[in-house]
């Protein structure tokens, strides 16, 4: 059976991403060289450039494929407190609690601050993520004291903080604390009705 060009390309990219990931784990994003990645993959550096524009694009592919993910649950029609409970439960179930996962995320953030191309691409990804969050939280716009976009950013900040803290103090970042944090965020960002202010 003949291999399709698309299938071969996908397999080549998967090998390059795996090799780059191993190199990143050993040396960090900034110190991972294309020569070393190509050697580790058993390919030439030309194979990298035929699949990725530059190192930044390859590193972004590594980040996309290997970063620890929290799969958030969103429920259309849920009240804001209920939605925050769902998000808290998602984080509790999926929060990366290993030091290696935390190091990986911290390292690509550090790399983004030094590599302009990677930074631009990462900012664009975050912008799309915040826009998706804003579109969902728009349903709660009348309840919020901040814009839906700002609220989406705040949720992301909370998740990032919980991830790092859970590695440093895993016994402290309990399910209950995560739920309380999300509910406190929503309460702090909700408008008070006249009855509540009285």
- Looking at residue 86, what is its pLDDT? 97
- Looking at residue 195, what is its pLDDT? 43
Class of domain 80-197: mainly alpha
- Looking at residue 53, what is its pLDDT? 93
Among 135, 146, 140, 156, CA closest to 87: 156
In the chain, list all ranges with CATH 1.10.357.10: 80-197
- Looking at residue 167, what is its pLDDT? 87
Indicate the pTM of the whole model. 0.82
What CA–CA distance (Å, rounded) separates 139 from 135?
8
- Looking at residue 1, what is its pLDDT? 46
Tokens of 61: 């592919």
- Looking at residue 34, what is its pLDDT? 96
Q: List all residues 6 or more positions away from 45 whose beta carbon is below 8 Å from its beta carbon.
A: 34, 35, 38
Task: Tell me 190's DSSP state.
Answer: B
Tokens of 56: 């930044």
- Looking at residue 100, what is its pLDDT? 86
Per CATH, domain 5-65 is 3.40.50.2300: no
In the chain, list all ranges with CATH 1.10.10.60: 5-65
The pLDDT averaged over each successive group of 10 residues in the chain (198 residues) is 74 96 94 96 96 94 90 94 96 86 88 90 93 97 97 96 90 95 96 58
- Contact at 8 Å (CB) between 44 and 6? no
Tokens of 74: 């969103």
* 17-to-4, 9, 48, 69 alpha-carbon distances in Å: 20, 12, 10, 17
């Amino acid at each position: 059976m003949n291999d399709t060009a698309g299938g071969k390309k996908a397999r080549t990219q998967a090998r390059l991403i795996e090799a780059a990931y191993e190199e990143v784990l050993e040396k960090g994003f900034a110190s991972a060289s294309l020569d070393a990645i190509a050697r580790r993959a058993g390919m030439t550096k030309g194979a990298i450039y035929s699949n990725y524009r530059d190192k930044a694009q390859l590193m972004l592919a590594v980040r996309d494929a290997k970063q620890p993910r929290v799969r958030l649950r969103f429920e259309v029609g849920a009240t804001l407190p209920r939605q925050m409970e769902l998000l808290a439960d998602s984080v509790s179930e999926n929060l990366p609690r290993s030091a290696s996962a935390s190091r990986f995320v911290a390292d690509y953030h550090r790399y983004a601050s030094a590599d302009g191309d990677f930074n631009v691409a990462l900012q664009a990804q975050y912008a799309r993520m915040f826009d998706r969050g804003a579109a969902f939280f728009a349903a709660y716009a009348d309840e919020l004291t901040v814009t839906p976009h700002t609220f989406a950013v705040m949720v992301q900040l909370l998740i990032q903080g919980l991830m790092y803290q859970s590695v440093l103090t895993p016994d402290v970042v309990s399910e209950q604390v995560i739920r309380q944090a999300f509910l406190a965020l929503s309460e702090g960002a909700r408008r008070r009705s006249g009855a509540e202010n009285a």
